[in-house]
Amino acid sequence: MLYLHTSPEFAMKKLLAAGESRIHAFCHVWRNRERGALHSPEFTMLEWYRTGEGYEVLMADTMAFLRLAAREAGASVLRFRERSCDPFQDPERVSVAEAFAAHAGVDLMRSIGADGATDAGALGAELDRIGVRRAADDTWSDMLSRVLSEKVEPKLGLGRVTILDRYPAAEAALARRVPGDARVAERFEVYACGVELANGFGELTDAGEQRRRFEAEMAEKARVYGESYPLDEDFLAALEGMPAAAGIAMGFDRVVMLATGAPRIDEVMWTPVP
């Protein structure tokens, strides 16, 4: 059986373990999800990695790329419909917890234990308090995603780029935890005009910890969907020799869409999926 790949990530990390230090990929990837103004099942991803550097370097890389994209398009701002964002301003950098408090009135950390364990009941009570709908069988992750998409994301990257930093560790399976705070991880996303453009990590290189996370993820997938997938043993073996690194993936088509002011992603794709 063959599969279309969702990301070159695992293959690239194997190259880092083999001795490469600064690599990138510019390629087509596939995600079998909803279609819409921002989503296509096939799109172009720019992904790159640096060894021996912190994930803050990737934030600077991304800002430089967004400014280049705007200049090449002859634009002074990035635009999505009625929203605009000036990539030449210094970005706003906020934690996920800070963004939830500011834009949704939710105390996210109240539902996360000191060890990073999540409490669906505590987060559910927060959703009930602010009037966000939820299903009886929603997981903590389901509820976090709903608040993020309905209340938080539309407020990010307005006027200037937002770097949404320090994701809960439960939402960062491939990122290392922030030193001194096991509740959160070195994961960030970049937003402009309310649109997510990139997702970066301080990479987890502990193979034992990565295996435990994968096993927990597959157990949850089996519980919810009745299916799971075999672990990539070659990837886990490669982690044993992978140096400290940071990596990021950017949706290239979305960047082009915002730089040109196109209202839909299909309008900037060479061969949009019918």
List per-residue pLDDT tens for the chain, 274 residues long.
457 888 999 899 999 999 999 999 999 998 887 788 999 889 999 999 999 999 999 999 999 999 999 999 999 999 999 999 999 999 999 999 999 999 999 999 999 999 999 999 999 999 999 999 999 889 999 999 999 999 999 999 999 999 999 999 999 999 999 999 999 999 999 999 999 999 999 999 999 999 988 988 888 888 877 888 888 899 999 889 999 999 999 999 999 999 999 999 999 988 777 6
CATH code of domain 9-205+241-268: 3.30.930.10
Q: pTM for the full model?
A: 0.93
Strands 92-95 and 78-80: unpaired
pLDDT of residue 2: 54
Residue ranges covered by each domain of the chain: 9-205+241-268, 206-240
Length of the chain: 274
Report yes or no: 246 and 203 within 8 Å, Cβ to Cβ.
Answer: yes
Report the alpha-carbon distance of residue 140 to residue 121 in Å, rounded: 8
Beta-carbon contacts of 11 under 8 Å, excluding residues fewer than 6 positions away, are: none
One-letter amino acid for residue 265 of the chain: I
Beta bridge partners of 188: 165, 200
- Written as one letter, the residue type at 141 is S
pLDDT at position 1 is 42
